[in-house]
């Protein structure tokens, strides 16, 4: 691991899924690009000032949680009971420290609580009532009523999903997702990943997806940092984030080959879909997705940056 690297790298996502070009208005697309740019600006500033990858991914994810356009924090999807239950995680590569929360209901920025679990508890993952009680002990965790997360768009998605379910339409495959995440390489050569989500529309019975599960929807070690988005059950069964890291560690795969093998082959082979963002210790970025679109943005090691929705 180098003592320092010449430049920093940041990649973010705002979820993968079926995003149809003709159903996304130019206005909405512009607003999404602007929110992705704002998250890149926020995280990029931390890195440019010599801050840690961990601080940068948290900062970028908080910016995305605050946007109602993504399925995390404000704008999170609804459970079958018409409420919001939020999952988030963070992991720091060189220390392998990790923190996560599942089923949080009153925490405005779940990624901040995940970080607090990592730094101020002896545990990795706190769920539901326990996560709320832990949040009660922390003055730095902002609380809101559960309906603060409401948006009309997500409520319409719940109604549509419940209708689909009543009509027993075939599958959730390709349903619109919208989880957020960030991965970063800082000027000290350290990696970190963060992921935050409302989960999947109409989820029930304490369902927990891949996003707060270390190794499934989020991972960072000394080689690579990964954040996933997609149909969480398949991401758990494929241990997506850790599988990408393992292919690099044990099979000497390049970042691109490892990320492609998992996202483009292993997940769809089981019947799942989604995407991932990843950055390695050399500053390479991979942003594969097997859906029609993935909201994403990046600042590359040469300083170039961009945001994108579709494949082109």
Query: Which residue of the set 59, 79, 106, 179 is catalytic?
Result: 179
Q: Which residues contact 2 (CB under 8 A, 6 or more apart)?
A: 189, 281
Task: Give the residue with the Cβ less far from ligand ASP, 51 or 75.
Answer: 75
> What are residue 87's phi and psi, to 5 degrees?
-120, 145
Min CB(234)–ligand ASP separation in Å: 9
Site string for ligand ASP, 291-310 (x = CB under 6 A): --------------------
The crossing angle, in degrees rounded to 10, of helices 53-66 and 26-48 is 150
- Find the angle CA(222)-CA(276)-CA(179) to the nearest 5 degrees: 115
Told to judge if 291 belongs to the known catalytic residues of this protein, a careful annotator would answer no
The two tokens of residue 40 are 């890149």
Q: Does 199 bind ligand ASP (CB under 6 A)?
A: yes
Task: Give the residue with the Cβ less far from ligand ASP, 1 or 270.
Answer: 270
Residue 172 vs residues 57, 159, 234: alpha-carbon distances, Å: 29, 14, 12
With CB under 6 A as the contact rule, the residue among 210, 221, 243, 260 that binds ligand ASP is: 210
Min CB(203)–ligand ASP separation in Å: 8
**Selected range binding ligand ASP among 42-50, 197-205, 259-267, 286-294, rule: CB under 6 A:** 197-205
**What does the DSSP assignment read for 133-150?**
HHHHT-TTS-B--GGGG-
The two tokens of residue 169 are 């339409």
Q: Which residues contact 133 (CB under 8 A, 6 or more apart)?
A: none
Q: Does 219 bind ligand ASP (CB under 6 A)?
A: no
In whole angstroms, what is the distance from residue 26 CA to residue 21 CA?
9
**Selected range binding ligand ASP among 31-39, 47-55, 113-121, 205-213, rule: CB under 6 A:** 205-213
With CB under 6 A as the contact rule, the residue among 39, 117, 192, 200 that binds ligand ASP is: 200
3-state secondary structure of 194: strand
Total residue length of the chain: 312
Contact (Cβ atoms closer than 8 angstroms) between residue 224 and residue 235: no
Site string for ligand ASP, 130-169 (x = CB under 6 A): ----------------------------------------
**Selected range binding ligand ASP among 61-69, 133-141, 206-214, 259-267, rule: CB under 6 A:** 206-214
Beta strands in 152-256 (DSSP E): 180-185, 191-197, 218-220, 224-230
Task: Give the residue with the Cβ less far from ligand ASP, 46 or 98.
Answer: 98
Q: Does 177 bind ligand ASP (CB under 6 A)?
A: yes
DSSP state of 203: B
Site string for ligand ASP, 13-42 (x = CB under 6 A): --x---------------------------
With CB under 6 A as the contact rule, the residue among 71, 79, 201, 291 that binds ligand ASP is: 71
Run of H or E residues at 37: helix 26-48
Enumerate binding residues for ligand ASP (CB under 6 A).
Answer: 15, 71, 177-179, 197, 199-200, 209-211, 217, 229-230, 232, 235
Catalytic residues: 179
């Amino acid at each position: 691991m180098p003592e320092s690297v010449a430049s920093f790298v940041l990649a973010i996502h705002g979820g993968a899924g079926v995003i149809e070009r003709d159903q996304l208005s130019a206005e909405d697309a512009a607003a999404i690009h602007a929110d992705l740019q704002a998250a890149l600006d926020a995280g990029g500033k931390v890195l440019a000032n010599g801050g840690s990858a961990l601080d940068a991914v948290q900062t970028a994810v908080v910016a995305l949680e605050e946007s109602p356009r993504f399925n995390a924090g404000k704008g999170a999807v609804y459970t079958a009971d018409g409420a919001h239950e939020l999952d988030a995680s963070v992991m720091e590569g060189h220390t392998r420290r990790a923190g996560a929360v599942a089923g949080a209901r009153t925490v405005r920025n779940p990624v901040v609580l995940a970080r607090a679990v990592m730094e101020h508890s002896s545990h990795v993952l706190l769920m539901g009532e326990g996560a709320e009680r832990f949040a009660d002990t922390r003055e730095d965790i902002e609380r809101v009523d559960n309906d603060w997360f409401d948006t009309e768009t997500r409520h319409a998605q719940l109604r549509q999903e419940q209708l689909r379910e009543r009509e027993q339409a075939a599958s959730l495959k390709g349903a619109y997702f919208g989880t957020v995440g960030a991965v970063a390489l800082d000027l000290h050569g350290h990696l970190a990943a963060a992921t935050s989500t409302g989960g999947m529309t109409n989820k029930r019975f304490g369902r927990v997806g891949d996003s707060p599960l270390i190794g499934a929807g989020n991972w960072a070690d000394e080689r690579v940092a990964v954040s996933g988005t997609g149909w969480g059950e398949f991401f758990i069964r494929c241990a997506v984030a850790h599988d990408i890291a393992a292919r690099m560690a044990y099979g000497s795969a390049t970042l691109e080959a490892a990320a492609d093998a998992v996202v483009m082959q292993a997940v769809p082979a089981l019947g799942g879909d989604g995407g991932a963002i990843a950055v390695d210790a050399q500053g390479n970025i991979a942003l594969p997705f097997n859906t029609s679109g993935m909201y994403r943005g990046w600042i590359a090691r040469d300083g170039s940056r961009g945001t994108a929705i579709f494949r082109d």
